[in-house]
Amino acid sequence: MRGGRARLAAAVVLLLVAGAGAGCGRLPSSGPVVSGPRLADDPSFGLIQFVPEGPVAGASPTDVVAGFLRASSSSRDDHAVARSFLTAQAAARWRPETSTTICQRMPSIVLPADPDPAHAGAVPSPPGVAVPEPGAPEAVVPGPAVGGALSVTLQGPVVATIDAQGRRAEQPPGARLSQRLLLLRERGEWRIDWLPDGVVISAADASRTLRPFTLAFATPDGSRLVPEVRWFAYGPNTATRIVRELLHGPSPWLAPAVTSGAPPGTQLRLRSVPVADGVASVDLSDAALVTTPQERRLLLSQLHTSLTGVRGIGSVRVTVNGVELTGPQGRLRAEPRAPGSDGRLLVLGPEGLARYDGARLDTVQGPDGAALEARGVTHPAVSPAGGPYAMLAGGRRLLVQRPGNAPIVAVDGEDDLAPPSADRHGWVWTASGSTVLAVPTAAPAGGPVEVQGPPGGETGRVLQLRVSRDGSRVLLVTEQAEGAPVAAVHGVDRDVSGRPVRLTARGPVLAPGAAEVLDLSWLGEEHAVLLVRRPGEASPRPVIAQIGGPVRLLPQVPGGVSVAAGDTEREVVVGTANGRLLVRSGADWMVVAAGRHPAYPG
């Protein structure tokens, strides 16, 4: 695999020379000259991309498989170069778009010690990729090999998988690929004659060929946009894929929690979304006309928000059979906080409940912090829309308090309660055991209502929860039967009044493999920050997880017990056991204030 890294290094140098990178870099002044694959410029996007090379005459089976793996990362012309490593039958049968398996590095190519037809057998599905139904094309497996056939196995650690709709699933540590390919000689040259559908690429190839894009849906009341991240190859067809998936709708876990302005049956009238002079032209079928003015406004907002995230697209023109589609003025946006609401950090400060603005603590409610600690008050929360405060007392009572009024005991449980989270609809969330509870802040004395768990009983004991600021999703940390924590996102299905009725099926799993999840928070609308303890590490560390994307590690924080985040990474705050609030300072953490249990609104 050293040759692949050398080629990539050579390509990076060329990218820097061409000015394609946004940052600065120093060119090496010494070292060997290494030949790399040809580069081609994509005129639609101004991106310099690899053009992989096809097979050479007399290539060995290993060289053929290695060349195929390198070429698989390029989707140009329907993976034309990758198909050139296959027999004619396999090239016609292979469906690369069904899945992508991302390995930590290029997989190892394992040859049998004694090439024998008996080695050709069933192909295990990569982790996270659904096993096809019997009879489907991808379910075909090679039978006994004849006439000099050779079976090889691809092996390697798996980082993530992406399905046909662009939904990415991170894999836990230890997940591995074990996939067999069958090679035959065709016209005297080794070619791959059988392989499962989908592509296998390295993390390095994935980082330069795949990008996250946001599909915009909306809250059921139509007041805010809700993002769902999908992963597609960055190229001339990106806009088309985004619109097709947007019209197809949200993922099953999110669908009950959001809505769309696209009526059922709405499709692209043309096969593509052309982009010219920065304008994406979306021509829809007649079904798009069967809408109210507000639904048209929502649809236009969804298309504009989803497509202007693509490089090279500055505006969107939407037509139906060539006639421009218009709606009420103004677009919906992702605005999680109500106008005029207080977005500052909420903490238990030395003088009592306080808000922190990055420079000072402003006490908003007594008694002082020591008295609150003595009473066992922890984990304050407040809605993004403002309103009363919520907090735990003694770990088993949920208090709701308006400034200047006495606190009301909203939940008096027999078991420890999960730290509260307050949504924009006026509900404070907590959990007792595996039961999720919600209390209306307008009438907290009436007690909680039970929020139905996900279908199939996916939820174990709930350790942590946090509702998104748009109110459509909730982060849950649950303890599974074996004691391992699972952090995942679920949709929130509400009735017309905004009351949370049930949680949807589990969506993306965040930071799989953590030994312990101490706390978590939303970071903007597309990410979460989790304070985790990883196997083999003495101190916890925050990790930033994209909802439907990868995880990025932040430095360890000795003594860290809680974490909060606002809209940007600069607003990540860690609380320590000795009552200090820390923020990032380069590769370290810096004390900025005294306080406990930090929480941004939500």
Return the pLDDT at 20.
Answer: 36
Q: Same domain for 389 and 533? A: yes
Q: What is the CATH number of the domain that holds 308?
A: 3.30.300
Residue 73 sits in the same domain as residue 4: no
Question: Does 338 reside within a domain?
Answer: no
For tokens 């006994």, the residue is 144
The pLDDT assigned to 565 comes to 97
Same structural domain for residues 389 and 507?
A: yes
Host domain of residue 25: 1-34
Q: How far is CA 264 from the centre of its chain?
A: 26
Q: Is the peptide bond before 367 cis (omega within 30 degrees of 0)?
A: yes
Q: Report the number of distinct structural domains present in the chain.
A: 4
CA distances from 164 to 126, 133, 134, 168, 465 (A): 14, 16, 19, 10, 30
What is the per-residue pLDDT for 52?
87
Q: Do 118 and 83 form a contact (C-beta atoms < 8 A)?
A: no
Determine the Cα–Cα distance for residues 66 and 143; give it in Å rounded to an integer. 24
Residue at 452 is within a domain: yes
* Cα–Cα distance measured from residue 492 to residue 480, given in angstroms and rounded to the nearest whole number: 21
Do the domain assignments include residue 543?
Answer: yes
**Phi and psi at residue 556, to the nearest 5°:** -65, 155
Tokens of 220: 């059921």
**What is the per-residue pLDDT for 33?**
32
Alpha-carbon separation of residue 521 from 356, 465, 467, 468 (angstroms): 17, 8, 9, 9
Q: Is 208 exposed, middle or buried (0-12, 13-18, 19+ CB in 10 A)?
A: middle
In a domain, 218, yes or no: no
- State the 10-residue block means of pLDDT for the chain, 602 residues long: 37 31 34 38 48 93 97 92 98 97 96 50 36 31 55 97 98 95 96 98 94 96 95 92 98 98 94 95 95 93 95 95 83 56 89 90 76 84 92 96 88 94 97 96 94 82 96 95 90 97 97 94 97 94 98 97 96 97 94 96 94
Determine, yes or no, domain membership for 221.
Answer: no
365 plus 429 within the same structural domain: yes
Q: Which of 291, 324, 357 is the last residue of a domain?
A: 324
Residues in a beta bridge with 318: 282
- What stretch of H or E contains 3? helix 2-18
CA distance 205 to 197: 19
Work out the number of other CB atoms within 10 angstroms of the CB of residue 317: 12
Report the pLDDT value the prediction gives residue 333, as an integer from 0 to 100. Answer: 61
Pair (73, 86) in one structural domain: yes
Residue in the block written with tokens 């996900």: 454
DSSP notation for 100-114: EEEESSSPEEE--SS
Q: How far apart are CA 498 and CA 344, in angstroms?
A: 25
C-alpha to C-alpha distance for 236 and 44, rounded to whole angstroms: 6
- CATH number at 587 reads 2.120.10.30
DSSP run (H or E) holding 581: strand 580-585
The residue length of the chain stands at: 602
C-alpha span between 471 and 497 (Å, rounded): 13
Does residue 523 share a domain with residue 398?
yes
Q: What single DSSP character describes residue 271?
A: S
Q: Are residues 533 and 423 in the same domain?
A: yes
Helix (H) or strand (E) holding 180: strand 176-186
Q: Indicate whether 334 belongs to any domain.
A: no
CB 309 within 8 A of CB 232: no
Tell me: do 474 and 570 sit in the same domain: yes
The Cβ-side half-sphere exposure at 117, using a 13 Å CA radius, reads: 9
Cα(150)–Cα(375) distance, rounded to whole angstroms? 72
User: Are 298 and 179 contained in the same domain?
Assistant: no
In a domain, 223, yes or no: no
Residues 157 and 41 placed together within one structural domain of the fold: yes
Q: What confidence score (pLDDT) does residue 37 get?
A: 44
123, 141 in Cβ contact below 8 A?
Answer: yes
d(CA 73, CA 82): 9
The residue type at 144: P
Q: Is 74 exposed, middle or buried (0-12, 13-18, 19+ CB in 10 A)?
A: buried
Residue 488 sits in the same domain as residue 553: yes
| 529 HSE (CA, 13 A, CB side) | 23
- 179 and 255 housed in the same domain: no
- In-domain check, residue 228: no
Residue 467 has what DSSP assignment?
E
* Residues near 405 by beta carbon (within 8 Å), at least 6 away in sequence: none
- The Cα 502–Cα 571 span in angstroms is 31
